[in-house]
Amino acid sequence: NESMGHSVGDAVLRVAAARLRECADGKCFMARVGGDVFAALVPDANDSTQALAFARVIQRVLSRPFVTAGQDIYLACSTGIALGDGTHTGETLIRDADTALHMAKRKGPGQRAVFSSAMHDSAKNFMRTAAALRRALERDELVVHYQPMVELRTGTIRGAEALVRWNHPTRGLIAPQEFIPIAEDTGIIVPLGRFVLRRACEQFHALKARTTNGKPFTMSVNLAGAQLGRPNFVNEVEQILAETGVPAGSLKLEITETAAMQNPEAAIEMLERLRKLGVTIAIDDFGTGYSSLSQLHRFPIDTLKIDRSFVSRMASGNDNIEIVRTVVTLGHVLGLNIIAEGVEAAEQISMLDDLQCEYGQGYFFSQPVPFEKFGR
């Protein structure tokens, strides 16, 4: 792991290699492919059940905790398995195992996957989309749409959320759900996120001017987990703010609780540095992750965005209204602003207003619209 520093990283690799030798124990051939990737050739495994059993042994041995440089270290490993079938060369066998490894990693840490030809197709599709997405960035095919954020009590626009779309030359507008996950898996999210942040800041002044209610206007931009781990990110934000003349206090960065919890210590440190700049932080899709408000209290945040699923079920007269009430009350105790997302009906607005939820966003007010149409 890069964040551990070289000496600890080397020690970890040495321990991992020694443990793999212990597992191999004459039953298989082991080699380091590069970085932290190892290959094992297991002649005695005749089917996927036997291969998976062997993978479990390796994972069990590797996961025994140990101490180095005064730190407790726990190793997790992902495993990709390919079954040789006589048509394989060494090269294609490693390639298929590598494809399976990617799939295992996408399932989450410590997972195993066995190669299949469907996997090959989906891997090819993934690679193709990733390459097209990289080109799309270069060719300026990405556009940013804006959805107003509204003060519920007065109905005035108090901000906008920047939401990216891919204006594909033949397919038309592609929704972010189709390409953000791929961008996150490939690291493309880093330049993509930078693009959205810059564009949103460039258009901030014009969008704010169009609301003409004289009140502060906040630009919200989504932040992916991968961006939080980049040491240079705070400098980039600072530079973009300086170049576009957006006051730091007018920028809000939205991060999901799931992304924040991936590496809480790193996230807390990064968010604290952003807040020192004056940028505010919102927890996005609140209620859909596994964290609680008490865990989130450790995070330097300003705003909770209640997930659409709670807002849409609120009216049906069940427990959801109590969930929303609890979130709003606790959020206020913690000194946070509350915004409800996915507001689609007038009756939701009066309910939210009764609960003293200050802000709302949703199709009732407006869908996300292109820059030209915002506030018009």
- Residue 55 vs 133, nearer CB to ligand C2E: 133
Question: How many residues make up the chain in this entry?
Answer: 376
Instruction: Give the residue closest to ligand C2E by C-beta.
Output: 362
Nearer to ligand C2E among residue 96 and residue 284 (C-beta): 284
What residues contact 129, with CB distance under 8 A and at least 6 apart? 179, 182
Which residue in 320, 101, 202, 51 sits closest to 41, CA to CA? 51
Shorter beta-carbon distance to Ca ion: residue 77 or 311: 311
Please report how close the Cβ of residue 282 comes to ligand C2E at its closest, in angstroms: 10
In the chain, the N- to C-terminal Cα span, in Å, equals 49
Choice between 12 and 142, CB closer to ligand C2E: 142
Task: Round to whole Å and give the CA distance between 264 and 102.
Answer: 24
Q: Are 82 and 96 in contact (CB under 8 A)?
A: yes
* Closest separation in Å from C-beta 54 to ligand C2E: 38
Residue 175 interacts, among Ca ion, ligand C2E, none and using kind-specific CB cut-offs from 5 to 8 Å, with: ligand C2E
Least gap, CB of 285 to ligand C2E (angstroms): 5
Residue type for position 331: G
Determine the interface stretch with Ca ion among 1-9, 79-87, 248-256, 312-320 (rule: CB under 5 A): 248-256
Give the chain's largest Cα–Cα span: 76
Give, as ranges, the residues between 250 and 289 that touch Ca ion (CB under 5 A): 254, 284-285
Please report the DSSP string for 23-37 in residue order.
HHTTTSEEEEEETTE
Q: Name the one range near Ca ion by CB under 5 A: 70-78, 229-237, 333-341, 346-354.
A: 333-341
Integer angstrom CA distances of residue 58 from 30, 61, 173, 220, 273 = 12, 5, 46, 45, 40
Q: Residue 1 CB, nearest distance to Ca ion (Å)?
A: 28
Q: List contacts with Ca ion (CB under 5 A).
A: 222, 254, 284-285, 307-308, 341
